[in-house]
Structure 1
Amino acid sequence: MGKMSAAVGSVATLAAEPGEDAFRKLFRFYRQSRPGTADLGAVIDFSAAHAARGPGPEAHKVVRSQLSLSSVSDHDAHRAGLQPVSKWQAYGLEGYPGFIFIPNPFLPGYQWHWVKQCLKLYSQKPNVCNLDKHMTEEQTQDLWEQSKEFLSCGSFQLWHLRRRLSMAQ
C-alpha cells in the first residue's frame, strides 16, 4: 500500500478559504506539488516510525501505544479478517490523545473486504454520511447501488474529467 502518513500542522497553517476544509487544502497542496519538490517537513511517516527513536522532527511526535491483548481473542480477530492483536504495532502522536495508528492489521485479502463493507453497508441508514447535509435522505439511500450504476454506465469518466477541470481552477 506504500507509505502511510499523516500531516500535522498548526492551526494557522490549516486555515482554509470559505467553503474549503483543512484536509482539502492540505490534499491540494501535496497533489499540486511536483514529484520530489513538496516540503514534507510537516508529514509524519508511520512506516518509518520504528526508526524514529532518536533526534529528528518525527521522533518527539510518534509514541508507541499499548494495546490490550485480551480485548479481542485470536479466534474473533481471525473471523473478522484480522491478525492476532499480539502482532499489531500501534502508534500515537504526542498531544493527540485517542489517536491510534495501526499499520495494516488485516490478514491477506481482507483489506479489500473491509473497504467494500465500508462502502456498501456503512453508508446505509441509520448511519450518518458526510453527504447528508448536502443531499436529501432519498438521494443518500443505498449509495452503493447508485455508485455501481453510475460507474457502469460510463458517465464516471465524464464526471471525473469535469471534477479535475474544476479543481485545477
Structure 2
Amino acid sequence: MGKMAAALGSVATLATEPGEDAFRKLFRFYRQSRPGTADLGGVIDFSAARGSGPVAHKVVRSQLSVSSVSDHDAHRAGLQPVSSWRAYGLEGYPGFIFIPNPFLPGYQWHWVKQCLKLYSQKPNVCNLDKHMTKEDTQDLWEQSKEFLSHQSFFTVPVVCLLSATTARNRTNLNSIHSCISS
C-alpha cells in the first residue's frame, strides 16, 4: 500500500505542473520508472471484466448493435464482423467504449496511415491545434517525412508528427514512414 501511495503522490505532484494534459503527465510518470519497477496497480486491464482484479468491478461488458454495420461493410473498412468484437466500458464513464483490435490482419497499418495522413488535415480537429498554427499543421505527414529524411539518426526533432524522444523512437518513426508511405 505504501508503494501505491507513493506512486499516487508522485502523480499528484505531476498534476500541479502547468501546460500539460492528463495523458502527458501519466506518460512521463510511467516513462521515468525503471523497467519492472512501475506500480501498475492503477492501470486498467480490460480483460479484468472476466476476472477478479482490483478494478474488475469497474470494467463492464458493453453491448454493441450488431445490425448497425453489415459484415460486408465492416470487411470493406478492414474490420472484423461486429458480432466478433469484444467491447468494454467503465462504470461512471457513460459513452466510453474500448474495443480491443477490431481490425482484420494487416488493416491496422491502413488505419494508422489514415490517421496520420488524412485525419490530421483540416477541417478535422487535431490535438496539435492548440500547440501549432493552422499553417504549421497542414500536411504534417509530408513535413515529418521530409524532416526525418534530412536528419541524422541521433538528432531528435523539436516538433515532429509523433513525439520522438529517444533514438529507439526515432527508429520506430523511420520504420512507420517506410512501411506506410505509399
- Does structure 1 residue 42 correspond to structure 2 residue 42? yes
After TM superposition, the score normalised by the length of structure 1 is: 0.80
Q: Partner amino acid for 2:56? A: A
- 1:88 pairs with 85, 90, 109, which one? 85
> CA offsets, 1:5-36, max 9 Å, x none?
xxxx8xx8472411122211111111111122
- 2:134 pairs with 132, 137, 140, which one? 137
What SS class does the counterpart of residue 159 from structure 1 fall into?
A: coil
Partner of 1:4: none
> 1:45/1:160 Cα in 2 relative to 1: closer, same or farther (>3 Å)?
farther
> 1:141/1:155 Cα in 2 relative to 1: closer, same or farther (>3 Å)?
farther
* Higher relative contact order (Cα pairs below 8 Å, separated by 6+ residues): 1
Task: Give the Å deviation of 1:157.
Answer: 3.8
What SS class does the counterpart of residue 156 from structure 2 fall into?
A: helix
Flag the structure with higher helix content: 2
Partner of 1:116: 113
What are the equivalent positions in structure 2 for 1:1-169 lying under 5 Å apart?
13=12, 15-46=15-46, 48-52=47-51, 54=52, 56-154=53-151, 157-160=154-157, 164=165
Q: Which runs of 5+ in 2 are unaligned?
A: 1-7, 167-182
1 CA distance for matches of 2:112 and 2:126?
Answer: 16
> 1:35/1:161 Cα in 2 relative to 1: closer, same or farther (>3 Å)?
farther
After TM superposition, the score normalised by the length of structure 2 is: 0.75
8 Å contact kept, 1:69–1:85 = yes
Which deviates more from structure 2 when the two are superposed, residues 79-88 or residues 136-145? 136-145
Which deviates more from structure 2 when the two are superposed, residues 18-27 or residues 117-126? 18-27
Identical positions, percent: 82
> CA offsets, 1:31-74, max 9 Å, x none?
1111221111111112x33532x3x3121111000000001000
> CA offsets, 1:74-120, max 9 Å, x none?
00000000000000000001111111000000000000100000000
Question: Number of aligned pairs?
Answer: 152
**Which stretches of structure 1, 4 residues or longer, exceed 6 Å deviation after superposition?**
none
Cα RMSD of the aligned pairs, angstroms, is: 2.4
